[in-house]
A and B are shown apart, each in its own frame.
Chain A
Amino acid sequence: MSSSSPPLAGVPPRAVPAGPPGPTGKPAIKDNYLNADYGWKSWLFTVDHKRIAILYLLSVTFFFFVGGAFAVLMRLELATPEGDLVQAETYNKLFTMHGVMMVFFFLLPSVPAVLGNFLVPLMIGAKDLAFPRLNLLSWYIYTIGGLFSLFAVVSGGVDTGWTFYAPYSSTYSNTHVIATALGVFISGFSSILTGLNFLVTIHKMRAPGMTWFRLPLFIWAHYATSIIMLLGTPVIAITIVLLALERLFQIGFFDAKLGGDPVLFQHLFWFYSHPAVYIMILPAMGVISEIIAAFSKKRIFGYSFVAFSSLAIAILGFLVWGHHMFVSGQSVYAGLIFSFLSMVVAVPSAVKTFNWTATLFKGSIQLDTPMLYALGFLGLFTIGGLTGLYLATLAVDVHVHDTYFVVAHFHYVMVGGVVMAYLGGLHYWWPKMFGRMYPEFLARIAAVVVFVGFNLTFFPQFLVGYQGMPRRYHEYVEEFQVLNVLSSAGASILGLGYLLPMIYLTWSLYYGRKVGPNPWGAKGLEWEQAGSPPTTFNFERTPLVTEEAYAYPDARPQITARAGHGGRHE
């Protein structure tokens, strides 16, 4: 073990302000978690949630750029209708590995494992997560899973698509299905353990006075996400085991020739993978709530509606998986019910969007980089959400299912939504994480480049999808070329937009302006009561919470209590 002292996580910080709870018997020169200890061991054996967050940051960034590299090659291939850059086999491996890397090793862990890990204890006034060693284990499991899948790439690749549909994956593909799927299987446990850790932490380790309705919306979002992680992830694990049994031992679950049912695989796969979409987007929504509040200097409009819509999404999200299977041979009546429920699950997202927009009204708005990302998120997520209605509508889905329309839709949600929020959050909490500010001007330019590049890449895909271009096509008919060229051009701009932050954020670690604890003047325990960077145990003394989240001062001096307009939730 490292020389850092044992975590005090087991001690609930309920005892109201006692003495400094810091590491007893340690010299005080180590004033933050980054310089508390040195050497690789102090990182690889750390149990500090903040250091683990940094480990995740490095890992997800790595996998993001690996997944991005595959996307670059795909877009290059698709610039012409002919399959002239890479062979069909290679192309199929490219989109598969792009999907696997991005979904399982970037999108799923990005916000919760990096920002959530860093911020959940800080925001609720705890010293660490409830199970710090489990937290470190989660990172190891995740990384081993990622390397397993990466091994599959290096040793020849896999060509099933990230959805691993049987019986192609179980019987027909000659590629490294097992290694890749095993990587996904392993990393799933990381997700389960992280979800468990967050749930227990949020339940048991809130600082005195931090009642449920004083929690930042980021915490509500992570709470809802954790429920999905815990309940959904075991199903994908089971599915992968069944797939492996069929592939290795010809035990028939999915292949009709072995007596199985291929549609069963889709049911099992989407029973996890649709809720998994919400594992990605809910924490991102939490980030957006924080940024919009901080850069409007304003309490989130309809706090409790935003909080409960997260829970509503988490629950309803489990009941809509069949909308991936409207043309798969599922009964038309099942289709009817799944279509209906998919319409219903769209509503909480709409409610959130309206509340965020309403928050801006009469705010004190500052358009710094995090806010640019958040406002960009609002626009792109609106398009992503609304195009979900097309797909939830039975007759329209029959046409656009498995076309680029679907590809465009989920990239608007996943990239326009999650990645925008993740980048916004990374910029917002960057000074908290490292005590230094990123270069604002450059960052604003990058945010605009990302926004423009994103739209140019993915908007044409809605059109080409509606025209009928199926996804996962190595070659395509000529009339789709114009839109594909636009998309490829956009991708090059988008790629540049992603490289910029990578460069200037790294630069800022060494040369960025040093900042105090609260450079944004934001509300929240992480800003008001912890240093930048925070100390190993976050707070000098256990915070005592006496006000609601986002208790920014009011422009109207007379009105001090905020119970005026409706304290329904107390």
Chain B
Amino acid sequence: MTQEFKLLPQAASEVASSVDHITLYLTVVSVFFTALISLLVIVFATRYRRRHADQRAEQIEGSLPLEIFWTVIPLAIALFSFAWGARVFFRMNSTPEGSLPISVTGKQWMWKVQHPEGRREINDLHVPVGVPVELTMISEDVIHSFYVPALRTKRDVLPGRYSKLAFVANKVGVYDIFCAEYCGTKHSKMIGKLHVLEDSQYQAWLSGAGSGPAPREDGAQLFAALRCDTCHSGQDNSRGPSLAGLFGADVPLADGQVVKADLDYLRESILKPAVKIVAGYQPLMPTYAGQVNEEQIGQLIAYMRTLGAPDPASTETTR
């Protein structure tokens, strides 16, 4: 018990402060109503205590105005909280232009992180202060949940589907990362640290030990090694559709549907290519399930996103 006792956890983002404000509002409401009910109970139980055995109560049927009063007031208080909470929630879920994309892979029982320029880390996440960050997260096994109390935010990390967590840390420091969704035996060991650094320190850190090729470079190698390029050559007569400029575009399918080529679509097309066949092509592609892991899929997608896009920075916004 060496730590100093604090009521509120540290707040390292604007959103965190907004959440605390709503909490403060709800706490004022809660204290008021708990005190009100307790006080009334105590006063009534004392004031109207039965003093002799045949003491009668004054029978009161009810009161429509009172019922309306105590239906409308709590509803109004609750709906105010709803509206406020929704506003902040939508802010949490929006990703500003030019966010720093970082990929996170959860597995029993660790967090694997890769930065866009290639540096990797495990159970640590280094980010620059004041810069919007977008984590693209996926799980290799069960459901996890990426939780940073100091940012007042968390997001479940699912197997088979990408989920995103956006934040802007505004205070340099080191903060806890917890896995919040129970994920098995060492769930409580699936913890780490968020390091919020000055931008210059972050740049220095990026080029430090542990840096390797960027995911898109790994992806390019994989793309060649897995012979993806034989069909997706980008030539007019190739057996597979061209991938140039694909990311974010609308893709017409053989069954007449049109889907958006987002992360989940690309991932599914690598693992289950027969599910969505592009119009004008035959279902020839074999599955790559079992040949690539989640991180490699992420690298392949990172590479695909560079195809036909002269400026990589402009393709980062997906919304």
Contacts and interface: CB of A to CB of B under 8 A. Distances in A.
Interface of A: 83, 88-89, 92, 159-161, 165, 167-168, 171-173, 255-257, 259, 261-263, 296-299, 301-305, 326-329, 332, 335-336, 339-340, 343-344, 346-347, 350-351, 353-355, 357-358, 360-367, 375, 378-379, 382-383, 386-387, 389-390, 392-399, 401-403, 463, 466-468, 470-479, 481-482, 552-556, 559, 562-568
Contact of A393 (B16, B82, B149): B82
Interface of B: 1-3, 5-9, 15-16, 18-19, 22-23, 26, 29-30, 33-34, 37-38, 40-41, 44-45, 48-50, 55-64, 66-67, 70-71, 74-75, 77-79, 81-82, 84-90, 92-93, 108, 141-143, 145, 147, 149-150, 152-156, 158-161, 163, 176, 178-189, 191, 272
B83 to A, nearest CB: 9
Nearest to A306: B62
Contacts, number: 318
Contacts of A336: 86, 89
Contacts of B18: 395
Contact of B1 (A262, A386, A477, A481): A481
A116 to B, nearest CB: 26
B34 A363 contact: no
Q: Which 10 A-B pairs have the closest CB atoms?
A: A256-B160, A468-B149, A393-B85, A394-B89, A395-B88, A565-B61, A360-B44, A302-B62, A298-B57, A343-B78
Contact of A172 (B41, B63, B141): B141
Contacts of A397: 85
A554 B160 CA distance: 67
B63 A565 contact: yes
Given A467-B6, A552-B56, A566-B61, 20 more contacts: A256-B158, A298-B58, A329-B155, A336-B86, A343-B82, A347-B78, A358-B60, A363-B48, A387-B30, A390-B23, A393-B82, A393-B85, A403-B180, A467-B8, A472-B188, A474-B188, A478-B2, A479-B3, A554-B56, A566-B62
B56 A172 contact: no
Given A346-B78, A467-B149, A362 B57 contact: yes
A379 B9 contact: no
Contacts of B181: 165, 402
8 contacts: A343-B82, A363-B44, A395-B18, A395-B19, A395-B22, A395-B87, A466-B8, A553-B59
A165 B81 contact: no
Contacts of A552: 56-57, 59
Q: Which of A159, A297, A563: most chain B Cβ within 10 A?
A: A297
Contacts of B153: 398-399
Given A296-B57, A383-B30, A402-B147, A357 B40 contact: yes
Given A168-B142, A399-B152, A478-B2, A365 B184 contact: no
B183 to A, nearest CB: 6
A299 B74 contact: no
A402 B85 CA distance: 18
Given A396-B26, A472-B182, A367 B49 contact: yes
A159 B187 CA distance: 11
A568 B50 contact: no
A353 B152 CA distance: 32
A538 to B, nearest CB: 28
A172 B184 contact: yes
A477 B192 CA distance: 11
Contact of B45 (A159, A340, A365): A365
Contacts of B56: 297, 364, 552-555
A253 B49 CA distance: 59
B287 to A, nearest CB: 12
Nearest to B57: A298
A363 B47 CA distance: 9
Contacts of A564: 61
Contacts of A259: 272
A373 to B, nearest CB: 13
Contacts of B19: 395-396, 398-399
Contacts of A344: 75, 78
Contacts of B163: 329
A363 B45 CA distance: 8
A156 to B, nearest CB: 14
B9 A394 contact: no
A358 B8 contact: no
Contact of B86 (A92, A339, A351): A339
B66 to A, nearest CB: 7
A566 B59 CA distance: 12
Given A389-B26, A482-B1, A327 B145 contact: yes
B50 A329 contact: no
Nearest to B109: A88
B81 A389 contact: yes
A327 B176 CA distance: 19
Contact of A360 (B41, B74, B188): B41
Nearest to A360: B44
B184 A475 contact: no
Contact of B75 (A347, A355, A366, A473): A347
B258 to A, nearest CB: 20
B26 A375 contact: no
A336 B93 CA distance: 12
Nearest to A256: B160
A379 B41 contact: yes
Contacts of B82: 339-340, 343, 392-394
A353 B145 CA distance: 36
Contacts of A375: 41, 45
A211 to B, nearest CB: 16
B50 to A, nearest CB: 5
Q: Which of B30, B34, B74, B178: most chain A Cβ within 10 A?
A: B74
A165 B85 contact: no
B233 to A, nearest CB: 30
A329 B185 contact: no
Contacts of A383: 30, 34
Contacts of B2: 478
A553 B180 CA distance: 56
Contacts of B64: 566, 568
